[in-house]
């Protein structure tokens, strides 16, 4: 597969064309097995604030509906996608998304897509791209529906089948919510300012927000905006954090003076929330140095200074001295509960990955338990909706260790030891929580 690196993109390209060039490269990166974290930031750095939003809309939307778009596009192709045609193919996928789900005028979409094809050194395909788009417009710009729900919801077959099998009643809602745009939730640093006071600040700037009685630090911003538009973000009064992620730290029953361990902390949202909830001694661990650096930058913005350690919790925690009152295991997982925020997960995750993740989670849990004091709390969370990573993981953990048992908590009027939140519930991401106490 042939592609153009971002460095080779000319700064003289018209902005609209450059957006499509970057969009095609990002989508191609996913096809080649790269994550958006590896491709999108570089592309965004070369665009204006207005064009950044357009690029993200095209890339995220195309990935959300990729299989449905491809199902439509293939009827307009005369040959299989291979070799040098991969870039024109990704340009066409992006264009089909713009023509069907965005308010991009037909002629403008055709013009910028053809120009992007030319700048991507695919001149031999410009006429084909032009003809395909004009034929699609001429035929009414209708996406080809499918009797196959995996295509309709743009899910890999294995993941669709798994969700359908595990959630026979809720699977349709899960798939629909996973393809929706995620709302913007923020967490107000209540140790610095009351949520009601911060809402007044937002109101003065014309930003409408919704509060939650059972989540006092949480606000839903009605109309999504970038963090540079959030008042006092740089000053550390607020962080962007999903509703479901914020709920996790509240289950730790934190008290001043406790010793707390966050075993898989990056990018640091839950660690920061812990420090906002109570005056504790916190140790935050992370396996990846680059993610550790990002986490420390977030702590600096918030004026927080936990002890930060770069280590692999799945290989043991013996280098950390002593035991802790509270231990959080926000485990590496499939991310199937946050697909709406990371649509590349659908195309990068493989069925064989799940067993590897489950084994890693098990090791981290076992090592984490060794650091919990008697009478201490161990909280296990994932942003997955798969049973193997969640309920089955909990059952196996309890079978291995008879010194711990579930420590029930009240949620929505029910008492439970663990809880599976599905995508879209309370507006939040899919998330799992299990709380244990050590005898």
* DSSP states along 36-89: HHHHHHHHHHTS-HHHHHHHHHHHHHHHHTHHHHHHHHGGG-SS---GGGHHHH
Bridge partner residues of 416 (DSSP) = 409
Q: CA of 438: how far to CAs of 325, 370, 376, 377, 404, in Å?
A: 10, 10, 6, 7, 4
| 156 vs 170: CA distance, rounded Å | 18
Residue 122 among the catalytic residues? no
Q: Where are the beta strands (DSSP E) in 229-280?
A: 238-240, 259-262
Cβ contact 354:390 at 8 Å: no
Catalytic residue among 117, 264, 333, 383: 383
| 66 vs 30: CA distance, rounded Å | 11
Residues 6+ apart with CB under 8 A from 375: 437, 438
Mark residue 182 as left, alpha or beta (left: phi above 0; alpha: psi -120 to 50; beta: remaining): beta
DSSP alpha helix (H) spans, 102-241: 106-119, 126-138, 149-152, 157-166, 171-179, 195-204
Coil, strand or helix at 248: helix
Q: How many CB atoms lie within 10 A of CB 89?
A: 25
| 335 vs 123: CA distance, rounded Å | 39
Cβ contact 132:76 at 8 Å: yes
DSSP state of 182: P
User: Residue 267: is the preceding peptide bond cis (ω within 30°)?
Assistant: yes
Give the containing element (helix H, strand E) for 338. Answer: none
Any idea which residues carry the catalytic annotation?
A: 383
């Amino acid at each position: 597969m042939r592609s153009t690196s971002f460095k080779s993109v000319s700064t003289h390209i018209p902005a609209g064309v450059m957006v499509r060039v970057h969009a095609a490269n990002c989508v191609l990166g996913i096809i080649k097995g790269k994550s958006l974290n590896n491709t999108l930031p570089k592309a965004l750095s070369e665009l204006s604030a207005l064009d950044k939003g357009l690029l993200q809309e095209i890339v995220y939307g195309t990935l959300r509906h990729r299989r449905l778009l491809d199902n439509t596009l293939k009827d307009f192709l005369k040959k299989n996608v291979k070799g040098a045609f991969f870039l024109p193919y990704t340009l066409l996928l992006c264009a089909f998304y713009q023509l069907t789900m965005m308010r991009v005028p037909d002629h403008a979409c055709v013009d910028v897509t053809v120009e992007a094809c030319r700048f991507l050194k695919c001149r031999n395909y410009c006429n084909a791209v032009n003809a395909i788009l004009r034929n699609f417009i001429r035929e009414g710009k209708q996406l080809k529906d499918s009797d196959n729900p995996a295509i309709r919801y743009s899910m890999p077959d294995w993941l669709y089948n798994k969700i359908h099998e595990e959630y026979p009643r809720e699977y349709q809602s899960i798939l629909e919510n996973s393809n929706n745009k995620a709302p913007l939730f923020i967490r107000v640093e209540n140790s610095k300012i009351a949520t009601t006071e911060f809402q007044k600040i937002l109101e003065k700037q014309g930003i409408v927000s919704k509060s939650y009685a059972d989540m006092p630090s949480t606000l839903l911003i009605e109309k999504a905006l970038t963090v540079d538009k959030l008042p006092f973000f740089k000053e550390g009064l607020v962080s962007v954090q999903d509703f479901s992620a914020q709920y996790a730290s509240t289950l730790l029953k934190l008290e001043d003076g406790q010793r707390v361990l966050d075993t898989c902390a990056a990018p640091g949202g839950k660690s920061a929330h812990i420090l906002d909830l109570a005056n504790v001694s916190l140790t935050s661990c992370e396996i990846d140095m680059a993610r550790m650096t990002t986490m420390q930058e977030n702590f600096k913005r918030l004026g927080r200074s936990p002890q930060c350690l770069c280590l692999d919790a799945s290989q043991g925690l013996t280098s950390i001295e002593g035991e802790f009152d509270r231990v959080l295991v926000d485990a590496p997982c499939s991310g199937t509960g946050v697909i709406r925020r990371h649509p590349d997960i659908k195309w990068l995750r493989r069925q064989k990955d799940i067993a590897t993740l489950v084994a890693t989670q098990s090791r981290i849990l076992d090592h984490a338990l060794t650091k919990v004091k008697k009478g201490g709390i161990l909280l296990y969370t994932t942003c997955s909706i798969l049973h193997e990573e969640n309920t089955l993981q909990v059952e196996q953990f309890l079978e291995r260790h008879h010194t711990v048992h579930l420590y029930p908590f009240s949620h929505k009027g029910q008492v439970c030891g663990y809880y599976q939140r599905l995508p879209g519930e309370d507006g939040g991401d899919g998330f799992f929580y299990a709380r244990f106490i050590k005898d």
